[in-house]
Amino acid sequence: MLRNRAEVPAISAELREADLGDERLSRRLGLLADQLAERPGESFPKALDDAQLEAAYRFFGNDRVSPEAILAPHFRQSALRAAEHQRVLVVHDTTQFDFPGHSKRAGLGRLIKPSAQGFFGHFSLALSADGARVPLGLLALETVFRLDKSIGHKNWTAAKSRGERVRWHNCVNDAEALLGGETQAIHVIDREGDSYALLADLATHQRDFVVRSFQDRVLATHDEERLRDVARSARPSLRREVSLAPRPRIPGPKGKRHPSRRSRIAKLSIAALAVELPRTSRVSKAESATLKLNVIHVFEKKAPIGEPAVEWFLLTTLPINTPEAIAFAVDCYRARWVIEEFFKALKTGCQYESRQLESADSLLNALAIFAPVAWRLLALRHLARADAKAPATAALTVEQLSVLRAVSKRPLPVRPTARDAMLAVASLGGHIKSNGDPGWLVLGRGLHDLLLLELGWRAREQAEK
């Protein structure tokens, strides 16, 4: 578990074992990763001097550099961190990367908006399975390019031909291979991954999962009952109050599935029962004819006027024999919000979609560097938020705290917590305390300013000696 600053390594250490086939390229990767990690929210020209900028563009466009080689050591380090836990959550989700501009960039494909260009990234993020939900790092990443009217697919390790859905299978298998059976993985998957083929594959290989149901399936009963009717008829075995974060309006089809809402405390009822699903007609007959799973129905009896009511149907292999077991399975699914925060760290904190690289290959190499940087930002903020009493040294070095004491507009307490320190960092980036918790962009700016001040602090101390 990430407990102190020493356990949040420099990005160069995270990527140290990358095998790029050339020692000079490997050294360049380490230097470039640390340079960009220090100024994650800045454009390349602002983050790097002229010589560094030229070297960076050469690196990203080098034919001998590949994203899988860059990321492989981070995947291994994530697996090592996961091995310190008896079980971990592996949260899988897809996001799109949109690169605006009138000029066409080589190799980019269509997005949901027809005029946009970019690609989709499918990530697998490991978290501790306890209540802390500590981000442990990425275990898999696959990209999808829609290059023509038929859906094109690009995988970093080998070309696949079964369409976009195969990414769920690939990333589950990649994550399990890295974990090597040393740690129990619970795979957490949103509605897009609800397919009989994936569910059957997970169950056949005895892999635990919590998948949010998208389809109202017919059950394997004589009277062909439907999943949602049966789940809604089950008697709730527990009730809980949970805090719901606000959700902005999302244009397009996705907005219908995820309507806007205000923040509130929701009173949820939870029921669970065993079901049996028949094999669907589109699935190969090699799959089992039926699939025995548990379904958990999470619902809000009475939502405030004008607010969408919460209702989830979760398919899982986890036990449901006690209220505590049911609550654990529900909490596993609720942990998927952490990967949404990771996407914000990558897009806002690291400004990945603003990178002015001209080809898909260069953008993929840049993504392979920024993905671990985004994980580190996520982990650092987690340390500041997870435990109100955690010491500031869990997030920052003693030297950085000395700099903050000297320059911060907000005086630090005698024994500052990690939260005190991170709020002080955010104030350097322009954060106002009355505005609530700082966002990713403000934190990125504040960290950049702190690192520059730290360099000046060291120079002054050396001059005084």
Q: What is the pLDDT of residue 158?
A: 38
3-state secondary structure of 110: strand
CATH of the domain at 232: 3.90.350.10
Q: What is the pLDDT of residue 465?
A: 60
Determine what percent of the chain is predicted with pLDDT higher than 90.
36
Mean pLDDT value across residues 252-275: 80
CATH of the domain at 439: 1.10.740.10
Nearest to 438 by CA among 380, 391, 354, 399: 380
Nearest to 182 by CA among 90, 83, 89, 78: 83
Q: What is the pLDDT of residue 223?
A: 78
Q: Label residue 89 by pLDDT band (50, 70, 90).
A: very high
* Rounded-to-10 torsion of CA 222, 227, 230, 233: -170
Q: Which of 319, 339, 357 is the last residue of a domain?
A: 357
Q: How is residue 292 written in tokens?
A: 């025995």
For the chain, give the number of residues.
Answer: 465
Residues 316 and 400 in one domain: no
3-state secondary structure of 79: helix
Long-range residue pairs from 300-309, CB within 8 A, at least 24 positions apart, any chain: 300/266, 300/267, 300/268, 300/269, 301/267, 301/269, 302/267, 303/266, 304/264, 307/261, 307/262, 307/264, 308/259, 308/261
Q: Which of 309, 341, 357 is the last residue of a domain?
A: 357
Residues 84 and 138 in one domain: yes
Q: Are 69 and 18 in contact (CB under 8 A)?
A: yes
Q: What is the pLDDT of residue 11?
A: 56
Residues 352 and 405 in one domain: no
Single-letter code of the amino acid located at 264: R
Mean pLDDT value across residues 22-32: 64
Residues 211 and 333 in one domain: yes
41/254 Cα distance (integer angstroms):
27
Question: In this predicted model, what pLDDT tens digit does every residue of 428-464 receive, in sequence order?
Answer: 878 877 677 788 888 767 766 776 677 667 666 666 6
Nearest to 177 by CA among 197, 200, 157: 157
Question: In this predicted model, what pLDDT tens digit does every residue of 161-203 receive, in sequence order?
Answer: 345 788 999 999 999 999 998 899 999 999 999 999 999 999 9
344/41 Cα distance (integer angstroms):
12
Q: Is residue 43 part of a domain?
A: no
Q: Is residue 49 part of a domain?
A: no
Residues 303 and 450 in one domain: no
* 210 membership: H or E segment, kind and range: strand 208-212
Q: Are 201 and 292 in contact (CB under 8 A)?
A: no
Q: What is the DSSP letter of 148?
A: S
Q: Are 448 and 38 in contact (CB under 8 A)?
A: yes
Residues 351 and 395 in one domain: no
286/289 Cα distance (integer angstroms):
9
* 428 membership: H or E segment, kind and range: helix 418-428
Q: What is the pTM of this model?
A: 0.80
Q: Are 169 and 198 in contact (CB under 8 A)?
A: yes
Its domain, for residue 328, covers: 79-357
Q: What is the pLDDT of residue 428?
A: 81
Residues 140 and 289 in one domain: yes
Q: Is residue 155 part of a domain?
A: yes
Q: What is the pLDDT of residue 248?
A: 72
Q: Which of 315, 342, 357 is the last residue of a domain?
A: 357
371/379 Cα distance (integer angstroms):
12
Residue with tokens 């500041």: 384
Nearest to 412 by CA among 422, 433, 451: 422
Residues 312 and 428 in one domain: no
Single-letter code of the amino acid located at 391: P
Q: Is residue 380 part of a domain?
A: no
Q: Is residue 51 part of a domain?
A: no
Q: Is residue 69 part of a domain?
A: no
Residues 200 and 247 in one domain: yes
Q: Label residue 284 by pLDDT band (50, 70, 90).
A: low
Residues 217 and 347 in one domain: yes
Q: Which residues of 115-130 are buried (b: 16+ CB within 10 A; e: fewer)?
A: eebbbbbbbbbbbbbe
Q: Is residue 26 part of a domain?
A: no
CB atoms within 10 A of CB 395: 28
User: Strands 311-316 and 208-212, how do they pair?
Assistant: antiparallel
Mean pLDDT value across residues 126-144: 92
More confident residue, 293 or 50: 293
Q: Which residues of 243-277 are buried (b: 16+ CB within 10 A; e: fewer)?
A: ebeeeeeeeeeeeeeeeebeeeebebbbbbeebeb
Question: In this predicted model, what pLDDT tens digit does every residue of 336-368 receive, in sequence order?
Answer: 999 999 999 899 888 889 888 878 888 998 898
How many domains does the chain contain in total? 2
Residues 220 and 143 in one domain: yes
Contacts of 145 (CB under 8 A, 6+ apart): 107, 108, 109, 119, 120, 152, 153, 154, 360
Mean pLDDT value across residues 102-122: 85
Mean pLDDT value across residues 374-395: 77
Contacts of 87 (CB under 8 A, 6+ apart): 129, 183, 184, 185, 186
Residues 323 and 445 in one domain: no
Q: What is the pLDDT of residue 162?
A: 47
Q: What is the pLDDT of residue 433?
A: 72
Nearest to 89 by CA among 255, 207, 213: 207
Q: Is residue 121 part of a domain?
A: yes
Q: What is the pLDDT of residue 151?
A: 41
Q: Are 244 and 255 in contact (CB under 8 A)?
A: no
User: Strands 87-98 and 184-189, how do they pair?
Assistant: parallel
Average pLDDT of the chain, as a whole number: 81
